[in-house]
Amino acid sequence: MGDERYAKELDVAVRVVHLACSLCRRVQKRLITNGSDHVSSKDDDSPVTVADWSVQAIVSWVLSDNFRDQKLSIVAEEDTQSLSTTESVGLLTAVTDTVNECLAEAPKYGLQGPKKALGGAQILEAISQCNSTGGPIGRHWVLDPVDGTLGFVRGDQYAVALALIEEGKVVLGVLGCPNYPMKKELLDHHRNQKSITTLSSVSSETWDKGCVMYAQRGSGEAWMQPLIGEDGKFAGKHSAHRIHVSSIDDPALATFCEPVEKSNSNHSFTAGLAHSMGVKKKPLRVHSMVKYAAIARGDAEIFMKFARCGYKEKIWDHAAGVVIVEEAGGVVTDAGGRPLDFSRGVYLEGLDRGIVVCSGATLHEKLIAAVYTSWDCSNL
């Protein structure tokens, strides 16, 4: 990748995201089989699961173990509030078991696990040390342990997203997409079998091949690796395939994707934008940052997210996806055409209306122009 400045950071980040994906796959399988065990609701009513806390614990532990000489700053989605009460002892035990089961697999990914199993207190400490609020100065790791938790509990798409911000800029992004097969045909095959809804409808042989994508800012390259199965061996860079955005620049041929929930993005507004720029195909509604993954590897050309007025987008929902799409050749801005600003703390402060992601400049210009002419009649 040329610039070796972040070589160790990228290497560790890719390995730990693979490890986290393996954890998530196991927990999602259990969830689908046993119903909604250990799915809780947060204050904003969004779901949180054993996987969210467990992934945050292992990423925090592995980063601390590998960068002992640095004072780590980690910005991440989960806190330990609802995990540290007397009523949540069972939940903490489930997280502890899941973390230890996962860390026992660390050597398979070329990472070191702990000398002995972690206790509940160590796990709470690992989760709660991810309490940074980021900002314009220094280095901040940014983690969404399970992005698209709604998709995760539905047996659908979700992502593990880890990024590194330095002096306010995203310099590395790693996106694990455990239910996004390496080959588009497998996804199409899956979709044809009644959309991306149930794991059980697809043979594990094809479904198992989820992927991890990654990129380093300025390299001009983005990469994708297959997840490894139970008996597989992690092959590192040798298993990486270069990815590129789509070359389609005619809106009539373009596919646009957006959030599944209309509470997360105004579907009628985006339908109007798509129509006015000449998009003909139906939107592809996908949970999580898998939408960024779809643009980065050329499965779709446009991604729009227009949250309701007053909602503030968080940096962990975008950081990894943005750098991967940009290095794969795409364009990411707010609806005013400005780059997203990751330097102002936990939120994407100053975001103009919504987020637009395109495979190239031609589609992007058309989309920004459509926003410009449609905005007055929007109800956002």
Active site residues: 52, 149
Using CB under 5 A, which of the segments 146-154, 195-203, 301-309, 355-363 binds Mg ion? 146-154
Using CB under 6 A, which of the segments 10-18, 144-152, 217-225, 247-255 binds ligand PPS? 144-152
**Contacted by 264, from ligand PPS, Mg ion, none: CB < 5 to 8 Å by type:** ligand PPS
**Contacted by 82, from Mg ion, ligand PPS, none: CB < 5 to 8 Å by type:** none
Interface with ligand PPS includes 266 (CB under 6 A)? no
* Contact (CB, 8 A) for 25 and 204: no
How does DSSP classify residue 208? T
Measured distance CA(176)–CA(219) in Å, rounded: 20
Residue nearest to ligand PPS (CB): 261
* Contact (CB, 8 A) for 258 and 265: yes
Question: Please, which residue, 63 or 150, has the CB nearer to ligand PPS?
Answer: 150
Which H or E run contains 302? strand 302-305
Q: Which of 9, 52, 78, 147 binds Mg ion (CB under 5 A)?
A: 147
Residue 144 beta carbon to Mg ion: minimum distance, rounded to whole angstroms: 4
Q: Which of 26, 108, 217, 287 binds ligand PPS (CB under 6 A)?
A: 287
The helix/strand/coil state of 24 is: helix
Positions in 213-232 near ligand PPS (CB under 6 A): none
Q: Which of 113, 148, 181, 354 binds ligand PPS (CB under 6 A)?
A: 148
77 in a labelled binding site: yes
* Contact (CB, 8 A) for 103 and 61: yes
Residue 158's φ and ψ, nearest 5 degrees, are -160, 175
Query: Whole-angstrom distance between the N-terminal and C-terminal Cα of the chain?
Result: 42
Residue 260 beta carbon to ligand PPS: minimum distance, rounded to whole angstroms: 4
Interface with ligand PPS includes 354 (CB under 6 A)? no
H helical segments located in the chain: 7-34, 50-66, 89-103, 120-128, 149-153, 184-192, 204-207, 267-277, 290-296, 319-327, 361-374
Question: Please, which residue, 109 or 258, has the CB nearer to ligand PPS?
Answer: 258
Structure tokens given for 282: 């139906």
Structure tokens given for 376: 């007055």
List, as own/partner pairs, every contact residues 219-227 make where C-beta atoms lie below 8 angstroms and the sequence separation is at least 24, other chains included. Answer: 219/1, 219/2, 219/3, 219/327, 220/327, 221/1, 221/327, 222/296, 222/324, 222/325, 222/327, 222/328, 224/182, 224/297, 225/14, 225/18, 226/182, 227/18, 227/21, 227/22, 227/25, 227/176, 227/178
Interface with Mg ion includes 317 (CB under 5 A)? yes
Interface with ligand PPS includes 284 (CB under 6 A)? no
* Contact (CB, 8 A) for 351 and 374: no
> 310 exposed, middle or buried (CB, 10 Å; 0-12, 13-18, 19+)?
exposed
Question: Please, which residue, 30 or 42, has the CB nearer to ligand PPS?
Answer: 42
Nearest to 300 by CA among 257, 258, 352: 257
Residue 24 beta carbon to ligand PPS: minimum distance, rounded to whole angstroms: 12
Interface with ligand PPS includes 321 (CB under 6 A)? no
Question: Please, which residue, 22 or 288, has the CB nearer to ligand PPS?
Answer: 288
Residue 148 beta carbon to ligand PPS: minimum distance, rounded to whole angstroms: 4
Question: Please, which residue, 109 or 158, has the CB nearer to ligand PPS?
Answer: 158
Question: Please, which residue, 160 or 215, has the CB nearer to ligand PPS?
Answer: 160
Interface with ligand PPS includes 260 (CB under 6 A)? yes
What residue ranges bind Mg ion (CB under 5 A)?
144, 147, 317
What residue ranges bind ligand PPS (CB under 6 A)?
46, 77, 144, 147-151, 259-261, 263-264, 287-288, 307, 311, 314, 317
Residues tagged in the binding site annotation for Mg(2+): 77, 144, 147, 317
